[in-house]
Structure 1
Amino acid sequence: MIDPESYRYRWVILLLASVTGSLTWGLAYTISVFYISWIDEFKAGHGEVAVIGGINAGVASLLGPIYDVIHRRLGYRKAGALGGLIMTIGYVGSSFANNLIVLNICYGFAQGIGFGLAYFGASVALNKYFFRQRTLAEGVLAFGCSAGGFCYTMMSQHLINTYGWRGALLIIGGLTFHMLLFFEILFSPGQLEYLRLNWKSVTHDTELHHDDESTSVESDDIANTRDIRTWMRHCSVLFRNRLFLLMLIVEMLCQAGQYIPFVHLPERARLLGVNTTLVAWIASSISLAMGLGRLAIPGICSAWNIDPFYAYGFTNVVAGLLTALSPFLTTEVGILCYAIFFGLFGPSTALIRASAALHLGSDTFSMAYGWIITMNGVGLLIGPALTGLMYDVTQSYDATFYTAGACLIVSGVLVAFRDKAKEYKSANQVQLRPAGYVNHFVDLPGISTRQSRNPISNEVTDGLEPGTLAGSAKIS
């Protein structure tokens, strides 16, 4: 079987996935520039208009398991292209909206479902090609999102000034339509052999025949969970994995705290007397610094073979301490410095995705990631809402940033329990293989096993006999 990491074409996959990230979450960050136009157009309050962005981000995250099912049924190419098409319909429909209800449906629900589905497909595509350099690949994908947020925000403002908000949405809809082309060439490793796009840096004695991208390269039972019953059965197994549950809790707490500075820091700066121009730079500096951090930190982890989950915990603690101390920074320079360093060390979803692939297994990545981004959405809904209520009660943002810092610190500290969570094994728990393992291994009574080596950590682990899949283990 050909090692997917031997294909040079995987760098094309990485580039297209990064561009897709910029056209999904990157464009999602631009919604703030449309708020003023919508308030003026529909004579609505700030709260009514803010609901549109909340629906958009919530739908994109909370429907993670549904995205997983769709990708397993259609394959990541068709599902990702479908997401790009739905995004385009959402943007074009929004440009003709004559009330906030239409905007909520087109921009909130349709566009949110579309970009959630497309971004999920980009992550699944990376999962097919990157194992040893997975952390670096996820960092490049995350950098695309941040870079897109910065560039498209300026572009959107220029389009609004030139063509109005309706024209801007129509043009952006044309950009998102290009994702249909991107996903058409996001071939799976098996399809590269079939299409003779087999640019390889390493030759192998055996070859992999054409396969559909909706199945894993290994053609294992976990990857082929297309029917809902099989999918639910594997979900129940996954939820008995304490390390997976730890990741869910950590991600929810992280997102509850991480999003708060994005929402409240500009307004806090304005209330402290910072001029409007610098307030805009403060908001932009977070995205710029976060883009650099999301590229540099995963790159360091990949180069020095650092566990991405530990790196994730470290950045959470650093960002939490910075946020908890930020109420003491009341000058323009202090607030700007906080924004820059929070961006650099801000928690990165690239690290949690790489952790899921490494510790839970590349075969079950899409299933695990679906639930992880669901908890991501829960955190996004709880954090800003709760801290906004704190401001209404206290008329101060101090408690808001103390709470955000506490969430991030606790999230980072919990990562220290990774080994304890890995040690736990229930009587019927299926242990899914980390990325790069030669064979599957299942901790069920009476199963014949052999040893397998993880090429990333050189850890030797008992595994199933060759050819035995997780769903059809041999019983001795």
Structure 2
Amino acid sequence: MFPEFSRPGRSVLLAGALLSFLNGTLYSWSVFMLPLEQGTGWTRPQTSLVFTAILVFFGLGMMSGGVIMRRLGPRATAALGGLMLALGLAASSFASAPWQIILAYGGVAGFGIGMGNIVPIAVSVRWYPQQRGLVCGIMAFSLAFGTLLLGSGLAATLIDIMGVSATLLFMAALILAGALPASAFLKYPAAAAVPHEVTSKVRTESLTTLQMIKTKNFRLVWIWALAIQTGGLMIIGHIVPCAIERGASPAQAGLVMGICAVINGLGRLLFGSLFDAKGFRFAMLADVFCMIAGLLFLAFPPTGSVLAGILPGVALIALSFGGTIPQFSAYIASSFGPAHLENNVGMTATVFIIAGFAGPFAGGCLHSLSGSYQAAILAAAIMAAPGIFAILNVPSSCPK
């Protein structure tokens, strides 16, 4: 893969991937929930509020990160994001009440991750403007891989050895040790300078965030992303109990969840590359059809073993779900110009916040009403369908 990238920007790409990998702690909160509940007596609604806060402040951090980056530059913004993430984790280790960990892990760490998450994408696509999809895919894959390795792997293992508080402190030190050196490499290429020094021609060909959200192009791609993310999270948010309901053992359900995480990461690379090779319409249509096919496979599984009936559908769902993230960012980078890229990419967070709430909640409600996940699976397929019509109607060119 790396021979395709010119040498001058490789250190930037690698540093961005490392920072994204460390930001994968965003989704590792689930490994702390049960140990905290068992050790403190906190309830599931209380610990669940932490993840809600993470999603909200992650989105706010992404939307604010562009403004901060234009003022402080990419290096300082990435370092500040890393410091906030480490501070939030460290403060969480001393929390004695739910509100304290909601504020520390959810608020401080969540905002830091969101702010830092903007930098690798915004900087790397300036180095490789012809490979926007793949670059965004690499960053998104690194985030997913970090969740799997740092959360399900390292943090879960350390909790058993040293407990929750010591693990949070260790993770904070690890973040500092990696994020601060990595941020030093995140600089714009000389030809692009810094955002406020972009040439007047580039400025006239670029849209501000307000101008962007008023375009038909952005609104339709936003609907496409929301349809896939919401439909996907209706199932992905319940993947373990859904697998158990369909006959899997707890161990098999855990395997399904792990496979889902890996394929989710691969989907980010695959669809990011497809975006570059075939264009946005082909890649985005392939993505939404992949989601619908996966949901239908899961709703009407082939006969055979339990895993044979579950894995094909889950694999397609995870592949599609992962593919929306880099494609949305790459579309914004390629369609609305570089002058306001940092701010514009931050608007992708609006989809993830809404879908993060609506998808799992809707899936849970449908399960409670019907007594099984079949209704949720079929509803998710219907939910994803508007994405087809949205992409078919996106204009081929974007107003400048």
TM-score, scaled to structure 2: 0.90
1:447-466 superposed matches below 5 A: none
Secondary structure of the equivalent of 1:418?
A: coil
Q: Does 1:412 align with 2:388?
A: yes
Pair 1:40–1:216, CA change in 2 (3 A): farther
Q: Which AA in structure 2 matches 1:327?
A: A
- Choose 1 or 2 for highest CA Rg: 1
- Aligned partner (choices 330, 339, 352) of residue 354 of structure 1: 330
- Aligned partner (choices 339, 343, 364) of residue 314 of structure 2: 339
- What is aligned with 2:63? 65
Paired with 1:99 and 1:240, the residues of 2 have a C-alpha distance of 43
Higher fraction of helix: 2
Paired with 2:292 and 2:170, the residues of 1 have a C-alpha distance of 39
Residues matched between the structures, number: 390
Question: Percent identity over the alignment?
Answer: 21
Paired with 1:276 and 1:103, the residues of 2 have a C-alpha distance of 29
* Cα drift, residue 7 of structure 1: 5.7
CA RMSD of aligned residues (A): 2.5
Paired with 2:388 and 2:9, the residues of 1 have a C-alpha distance of 32
- What is aligned with 1:399? 375
Contact 2:294 2:312 in 1 (8 A): no
Paired with 1:294 and 1:82, the residues of 2 have a C-alpha distance of 26
TM-score, scaled to structure 1: 0.76
Contact 2:95 2:101 in 1 (8 A): yes
Paired with 1:86 and 1:31, the residues of 2 have a C-alpha distance of 16
Q: Does 1:215 align with 2:196?
A: yes
Q: Deviations over 1:162-182 (max 9, x none)?
A: 111111111111122121221
Contact 1:63 1:374 in 2 (8 A): no
Secondary structure of the equivalent of 1:132?
A: helix
* Cα drift, residue 155 of structure 1: 1.2
Pair 1:7–1:335, CA change in 2 (3 A): closer
1:280-429 superposed matches below 5 A: 280-302=254-276, 305-329=277-301, 331-346=306-321, 347-419=323-395, 422=397
Contact 1:308 1:352 in 2 (8 A): no
- What is aligned with 2:235? 261
- What is aligned with 2:79? 81
- What is aligned with 1:34? 32
Q: Which AA in structure 2 matches 1:174?
A: A
1:166-181 superposed matches below 5 A: 166-177=165-176, 178-181=178-181
Pair 1:247–1:339, CA change in 2 (3 A): same
Paired with 1:403 and 1:72, the residues of 2 have a C-alpha distance of 42
Q: Which runs of 5+ in 1 are unaligned?
A: 191-207, 226-232, 424-430, 433-476
Q: Which AA in structure 2 matches 1:100?
A: P
Q: Which AA in structure 1 matches 2:196?
A: T
Q: Which moved more, 1:309-318 or 1:154-163?
A: 309-318
* Cα drift, residue 309 of structure 1: 4.5
Q: Which AA in structure 1 matches 2:249?
A: N
* Cα drift, residue 216 of structure 1: 5.3
- What is aligned with 1:23? 22
Pair 1:101–1:23, CA change in 2 (3 A): same
Paired with 1:90 and 1:35, the residues of 2 have a C-alpha distance of 16
Secondary structure of the equivalent of 1:186?
A: coil
- Aligned partner (choices 86, 101, 104) of residue 102 of structure 2: 104
Secondary structure of the equivalent of 1:112?
A: helix
Q: Which moved more, 1:326-335 or 1:352-361?
A: 326-335
Contact 2:227 2:385 in 1 (8 A): no
Secondary structure of the equivalent of 1:361?
A: coil
Pair 1:378–1:345, CA change in 2 (3 A): closer
